[in-house]
Structure 1
Amino acid sequence: MRFVQRLELENIATQANAIAAAAGAVIAPVFHYFYGTGRTDIIVVLLFCIVLDWITGIQAAKKKDKTYSSEYGLSRIPRTLFLLALPALGNLLDRVMGTPGFLFYGVTFGLIYHTWNSLTANATRAGWPVPKAVAKLVESEIKAKTDRAMRQKEGK
């Protein structure tokens, strides 16, 4: 027997679909105002790096240093909001100065590079498979994270 779903108005016009459509209608123009048109992909890359940094950071703290606490994790939320606000500020300054994205792209790629270093160092510290050549590139970040974790451990 073959299952065929019929598209009927009562299946499409639901309260959940209306809320999702309204949210999209509000969020999309706000996103484009703050980040600029056609820049969704680069912001998604930055957001993806930030999420991976959180995941690897939690694992490194739990496995390597045994220093993870929910208070420390929650304190990272303002930092994350700041990281997401900087490209928007760069875009707004580009618009004010009439430059074609110099500040936006410079800030965004700088943040992606910084976050990439951090997540790679965290993954290495967590014992996840990271190529040795890549781990060597982030040695100073690994040392800084290890030192910070030890200071945090001593402060408990």
Structure 2
Amino acid sequence: MKFIQSLENVVTPANGWAATLGAAVAPAFQYFYGNDRRDILVVMLFMIALDWVTGIYAAKKDNTYSSEYGLSRLPRTLFLVALPALANLLDRVMGTPGFLFYGVTFGLIYHTWTSLTANAHRAGWPMPKSIVNLVGSEIKAKAERAARKETK
């Protein structure tokens, strides 16, 4: 009897909706991104999240942050998340086993890594000199963009 009473906390309308949503989203996720690709997508999403965090801190440090600029980053993020799905669908159409998917996804991960590293440097967070040298062109581009934004 105690076991059934403990289920009252688990079997709630909110949990039912969450389970239904998960059951509906999981097949769509598999369809768009392919099977067994969660790990690489989690890496990419984690990198995008870190890019947002470092970008916000860098923009606040050099006084170029605005909510308008932050909101304009949403379509860019949706585009970055959609590209691997498109590449996966093209792989299926062309019969290539993940060639485009992994190429696009790793390219986006590298691009996002350089962006978040440059943002972290702009925010004043400690970075190894070798990493700063590796992403020097991105740091320079972001600094120039921030300077242009300040003059407006």
TM-score of the two chains, using structure 2 as the length reference: 0.95
Structure 1 counterpart of 2:132: 135
CA displacement at 1:6 relative to structure 2: 4.7
Structure 2 counterpart of 1:25: 23
Structure 2 counterpart of 1:9: 7
Gaps of 5+ in 2: none
CA displacement at 1:17 relative to structure 2: 1.1
What is the rounded CA distance, in whole Å, between the counterparts of 1:110 and 1:96 in structure 2? 21
Are 2:106 and 1:93 equivalent residues in the alignment?
no
Q: How does 1:45-84 map to 2 (within 5 A)?
A: 45-63=43-61, 65-84=62-81
Q: Secondary structure at the match of 2:21?
A: helix
Matched-pair identity in %: 71
Structure 2 counterpart of 1:124: 121
Give the number of aligned pairs: 150
Gaps of 5+ in 1: none
Q: Secondary structure at the match of 1:151?
A: helix
- The more displaced of 96-105 and 10-19 is 10-19
Structure 2 counterpart of 1:40: 38
Structure 2 counterpart of 1:154: 151
The alignment yields a C-alpha RMSD, in angstroms, of 1.2
Q: Secondary structure at the match of 2:68?
A: helix
Code of the aligned partner of 1:23: L
Deviation track 1:12-68 (CA, whole Å, cap 9, x = no partner) reads: 2111110110010011111000000100111111100001000001101111x2110
Deviation track 1:80-110 (CA, whole Å, cap 9, x = no partner) reads: 0000000000000000001000000000000
CA displacement at 1:11 relative to structure 2: 2.3
What is the rounded CA distance, in whole Å, between the counterparts of 2:118 and 2:88 in structure 1? 29
Code of the aligned partner of 2:16: A
Q: Secondary structure at the match of 1:67?
A: coil
Code of the aligned partner of 1:22: T
Q: Secondary structure at the match of 1:129?
A: coil
TM-score of the two chains, using structure 1 as the length reference: 0.93
